[in-house]
Amino acid sequence: MLTATVMTQIFREGPITAHRIRGAIVVYLLLGLMWSFAYDLIALQFPGAFSFSASLEPGAGSLQAKLTYFSFVTLTTVGYGDITVVHSVARPLVILEALTGQLFPAILIARLVSLEIAHREGKQIPSAKDIQT
């Protein structure tokens, strides 16, 4: 809910301010945390769904911390390979997160730039509600 609230503030009409840019960064970080909680649920439901390298075996931190690390590595599409997905339930989610990590910043930047240009020129950019009706 917090993510949706921040998104509505980011995409409202008006000039693009530093607060809106910070809000966009917060949304990106919240996406990473949401994915990590989804991975935690999968790991609890399907033990062994993720394979950890020797440096990340038990005792090297909590499962939630490891999955948060994995989530941000996946979201940024760095993919170090020290945590791999083993279970077929988790694979589509990992792919979806990687796609989100690529598309969200691109779409976000394009939208913010178009809002700023429209604000400077005094035009009104149609919202998602206007497009649907």
116 has pLDDT over 70: yes
What's the per-residue H, E or C state across 65-122?
Answer: HHHHHHHHHHHCCCCCCCEEECCCCHHHHHHHHHHHHHHHHHHHHHHHHHHHHHHHHC
Integer distance in angstroms from the first to the last C-alpha of the chain? 24
pLDDT recorded at residue 50? 93
What is the predicted pLDDT for the residue at 40? 94
Q: Read off the pLDDT of each residue in 102-129 and give the average, rounded to a whole number.
A: 78
pLDDT for 128 equals 57
Span 15-56, pLDDT tens digits: 788 888 888 889 999 999 999 999 999 999 999 999 988 776
What does pLDDT average to over the chain?
A: 85
Cβ neighbors of 68 (< 8 A, separation 6 or more) are 32, 33, 36
